[in-house]
Chains A and B, each alone.
Chain A
Amino acid sequence: MLSNIGISLIVLVLIFGFLSIYTASLDLKTAGLSINKSIYKLSLFQTTFTILSFFTLIVGFIYSDFSLINVYENSHTAKPLFYKIAGTWGNHEGSLLLWVNILVIFSYLFLVFSHKHNKNFRLYTLIFQNILIIGFLFFLLLNSNPFNSIYPTPFEGLGLNPILQDPALAIHPPLLYVGFVGCSIYFSAAMASLMSGYGGKLFAQSIKTWVKISWCFQTLGIIVGSIWAYYELGWGGFWFWDPVENASLLPWFAITALMHSLIVLEKRNTLYSWVIILCLLTFTLSVLGTFLVRSGILNSVHTFANDPSRGIYILLFLSLMIFSALAIFFTKYKKETYNFNFKSRETFILANNWFMVFFLVTVLIGTLYPIFLDVLISIKISVGPPFYNIVIIPLVVPLLFLMAVGPKVSWINSQNKVFNKILFFILGALVINLFIIYFSKKNSILSNLIFIAAIFLILHSFLDIKKLINKKNKTELSRVISHLGFGLLIFFIGINHQFSLEEDFNLKVGETKKINNYEIDFESLKTKESKNYKAVIGNFKLTNLKNNQVQYLDPEIRIYSNPETLTYEAAIKTKITSDFYLTMSNVSRSDYYNIKFQNKPFMIWIWISAIMIALGGFIQLTSKKNED
């Protein structure tokens, strides 16, 4: 029954999609400045049906209705309620339904909130957005339907994978999707802008809140994913340049570039074509990311179970999107003249875009290159963290300097005196640094430069905050907080990397290992029976020989029965100054256990800095939203 309700609702959404396109096209030709009221109603109905369909699926999960294949494959009666609900979007079909929801909800919200803007522009946006919606609905109905039913109804579900039952993992997809899918609306708006000719400053104002919303959620989504990886996956890292991680990072670079360029478009009414390109590029990257992750073309620790037919559908959709975007862009493109002085804020924002595009291109090439080589010359290579670190890190140095300096430069033209003073600071810092390297003969120039540049940004940001506290300028404050967060993030990642202690060794119960000024005692081994798993728990005593402080770390090896899985739970002690990280695994056919011990300085500050970046964005949302 749920199956029929669900499918009917989706079909209704589809029908209302067609209706919206039809009525909006008609309304384009009418005179008058306001949109026909019926179009609002159609969009509202569409939104209601979409949300209801999602609730239908959630109900299926809550009540463990195994007549739905999706519930059968991804849920289980023994799952706690919270994870039953989260299971709704934790699988391919359910997450696609979430995509559709966000597409539809944003479509309606944009329609309602853009009432100050040009009628045809809004109508075209609705039309293009609904074309996207219809495209996704066809994919959903024909290939990945969450409401497909199975008969006879199984008694129990299959989905009790313990790794997926985690709070961070539960909210990570919705956060990311508001980012990923949220950028669909300004893809449609960009197409609409080209078709209707509604551009410039007003166009920038129409999309800027949406860009900021998607940016904030994308940033948060990525951060939550990293925090989850650190605490749950047991390798002590938080970013692996895995293709699925890269897929979420690519749109982030584009949205960041877009967010900055919008400032220029709004303030100086220039860079319109570039803004359009970025709008079109961002959602294209989201769909490309979905293609890479769900089609099975790449292997990764993240991928959903793979099915080649999905890949074909998504590739088709992606191709149609790219070709129509290119066609419309080239048809409607008008040449622009640019008026950029070298010492102007516009140029610095262009520089931000320059760097963002570089990072984007690097990550894109790194992710796609193995596919190209495999297809063209049948050679399999791996592109992993060393590649990205080597290529990207050197350029983070100038970026940090530019981030400190750029916002201080005035629009249009900056006075030489101010500019030269800033330049002097940078050169002074670099000279001192070179002296240090020359005399201490230690460490790479690169790590020195990273610290110098990060500290430069941090100090400047603190100075700015001091000035701004009196002014109460929310836009400026949010910018400083985000930039400060970024500077701190690079700084703490740098420290963490330089001063981390990591050892991999084998130990038997009763043995002790000494590493630097730490002593690790493998005191005992215990077993524990829990509701759905058996655990082997190691009790380790960690002594800091410098100050005789003692900690106890208890890593676990968990054996789950349904499905049969083995997981390794790291023992993590998080403190303000550093984290201790210990994992243990059994060496096959031996009494020895392989121990990985890490001491990670300032780990929690990495998370705090990253959240600060997102916080800046959220602050800005709460201020500007009422202002245009």
Chain B
Amino acid sequence: MKLKIFILLFYVLSVGLTHSSENQTKLLEIYKNLRCLVCQGQSIADSNSDFAATIKLVVEDQFNEGKTEDEIYSFLISKYGEWIVYQPTFNKNNFLLWVLPYLIFIFGGFIIFLIVRKTKYNRVN
């Protein structure tokens, strides 16, 4: 009985929560992923600088033309370098960045697995 209540609770809460409308426009998301080059650590979305206003204009133009998010980033990277995007592109320079954390995670899991297995081995013996 308790189990059923639990499951029902899950269902109700999950359905309610997952029915959100995507209020965050894609455009704002792109602004947030771009660095304001003349500011000390702010995104284009957060900055009040003139440069940010100009970039917003150009990005909006391209977005309305139908360019994809990646195309817009490629364009800006070709003009300003990779520093302008906050999400590092997955290329030969950056792949270590993306891969290393997971490698270490797997490595850690492996060590724990060894420890636990050794115990089982010792107990059996």
A and B touch in the complex (CB under 8 A): yes
Chain A residues within 8 Å of B, Cβ to Cβ? 234-235, 237, 240, 242, 299-302, 338-342, 347, 350-351, 354, 357-358, 361-362, 365-366, 369, 373, 377, 379-387, 390-391, 395, 425, 428-429, 432-433, 436-437, 440, 442-443, 447-448, 451-452, 455-456, 459, 494-495, 498-504, 516, 568, 583, 585, 587-588, 594, 596
1/0 per position for B40-55, CB-CB distance to A under 8 A?
1111011010100100
Q: Is B1 an interface residue (CB 8 A)?
A: no
Most buried by A among B48, B88, B93, B109: B48
Contacts of B33 in A (CB 8 A): 384, 386
Contacts of A347 in B (CB 8 A): 112, 116
19 A/B residue pairs, CB under 8 Å, sorted by A: A235-B42, A339-B119, A340-B119, A350-B112, A351-B112, A361-B105, A369-B96, A373-B93, A380-B83, A382-B83, A390-B87, A395-B105, A436-B14, A436-B15, A442-B19, A443-B20, A448-B14, A455-B10, A583-B48
Interface residues on chain B, size class: 35 or more
- CB–CB A391/B122 < 8 A: no
Write the chain A residue with the least CB distance to B122: A339
Contacts of B120 in A (CB 8 A): 341-342
Contacts of A448 in B (CB 8 A): 14, 18
Closest chain A CB from B50 CB (angstroms): 5
Chain B residues within 8 Å of A, Cβ to Cβ? 3, 6-7, 9-11, 13-15, 17-20, 23-25, 28, 31-33, 35, 39-43, 45-46, 48, 50, 53, 56, 81-88, 93-94, 96-98, 100-102, 104-105, 108-109, 112, 115-116, 118-120, 122-123
- CB–CB B28/A504 < 8 A: yes
- CB–CB B115/A338 < 8 A: yes
- CB–CB B48/A350 < 8 A: no
Closest chain A CB from B55 CB (angstroms): 12
Q: A425-B6, A502-B24 are in contact. Are A451 and B85 (CB under 8 A)?
A: no
Closest chain A CB from B70 CB (angstroms): 13
Q: A366-B97, A425-B6 are in contact. Are A342 and B116 (CB under 8 A)?
A: yes
Give the docked Cα–Cα distance between A128 and B111 (Å): 32
Give the docked Cα–Cα distance between A494 and B20 (Å): 11
- CB–CB A365/B101 < 8 A: yes
Give the docked Cα–Cα distance between A543 and B124 (Å): 71
Give the docked Cα–Cα distance between A282 and B94 (Å): 27
Give the docked Cα–Cα distance between A391 and B17 (Å): 23
Contacts of A361 in B (CB 8 A): 100-101, 104-105
Contacts of B108 in A (CB 8 A): 354, 357-358
- CB–CB B24/A495 < 8 A: no
- CB–CB A301/B42 < 8 A: yes
Write the chain B residue with the least CB distance to A300: B41
Closest chain B CB from A257 CB (angstroms): 11
Give the docked Cα–Cα distance between A350 and B115 (Å): 10
Contacts of B101 in A (CB 8 A): 358, 361-362, 365, 391
Give the docked Cα–Cα distance between A541 and B15 (Å): 34
Contacts of B102 in A (CB 8 A): 391
Closest chain A CB from B119 CB (angstroms): 5
Q: A301-B40, A502-B28, A594-B48 are in contact. Are A383 and B19 (CB under 8 A)?
A: no
- CB–CB B50/A588 < 8 A: yes
Contacts of B119 in A (CB 8 A): 338-341
- CB–CB B41/A504 < 8 A: no
Most buried by A among B11, B18, B118, B122: B18
- CB–CB A436/B18 < 8 A: yes
Give the docked Cα–Cα distance between A237 and B46 (Å): 9
Beyond known contacts A235-B45, A350-B115: 15 more, CB 8 A cutoff: A302-B41, A338-B115, A340-B119, A361-B101, A366-B97, A381-B83, A381-B93, A382-B35, A382-B88, A384-B35, A386-B86, A387-B88, A440-B19, A459-B9, A502-B24
- CB–CB A383/B97 < 8 A: yes
- CB–CB A442/B53 < 8 A: no
The residue that B31 contacts in the complex, of A350, A385, A452, A504, with Cβ under 8 A, is A504
- CB–CB A432/B10 < 8 A: yes
